[in-house]
């Protein structure tokens, strides 16, 4: 979450979530400005909005432990244990372009 807002900082939001969902593990991770990277593009914002919406929908529907992603421009839900099993190597060409 961005600084400020309706619930205050991330720690305050975590308290609200924990109060409303007491059996849920809540973790707070504060990112520094350097870790945030550059300004998001319009596409970045659209993808983040779509994925965030569907992640919340999963919680509302009681669907847990899934990775929300986009496959062929459609929302996809992959079980977390399946998603973390698949490892891909970074292309050598991508590394060389840096």
Instruction: Give phi and psi for 76, each to the nearest 5.
Output: -135, 140
Over residues 23-80, the pLDDT tens digits come to: 989 888 776 655 666 778 898 899 999 999 999 999 999 998 998 988 888 999 989 8
Domain count, the chain: 2
pLDDT over 90 for what percent of the chain?
29
Say yes or no: 9 and 31 in one domain. Answer: yes
SS (H, E, C) 33-51: HHHHCCCCCHHHHHHHHHH
- What is the reported pLDDT for 55? 92
User: Do 10 and 43 sit in the same domain of this protein?
Assistant: no
CA 95 to chain centre: 25
**How far apart (Å, rounded) are the C-alpha atoms in residues 75 and 78?**
10
- Note whether 17 and 49 are same-domain residues: no
CB-count exposure of residue 98 (10 Å: 0-12, 13-18, 19+): exposed
Buried b (16+ CB within 10 A) or exposed e, 32-45: eeeeeeeeeeeeee
Domain limits at 91?
39-98
CA 84 – CA 78 distance, rounded (Å): 10
Claim to verify: residue 9 and residue 44 sit in the same structural domain = no
């Amino acid at each position: 979450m961005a600084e400020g807002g309706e619930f205050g900082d991330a720690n305050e939001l975590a308290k609200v979530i924990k109060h409303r969902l007491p059996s849920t593990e809540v973790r707070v991770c504060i990112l520094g400005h350097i870790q945030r990277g550059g300004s998001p593009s319009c596409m970045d914002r659209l993808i983040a909005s779509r994925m965030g919406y569907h992640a919340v929908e999963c919680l509302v529907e009681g669907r847990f432990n899934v990775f929300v992603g986009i496959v062929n421009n459609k929302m996809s839900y992959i079980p977390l244990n399946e998603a973390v099993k698949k490892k891909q190597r970074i292309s050598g060409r991508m590394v060389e372009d840096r």
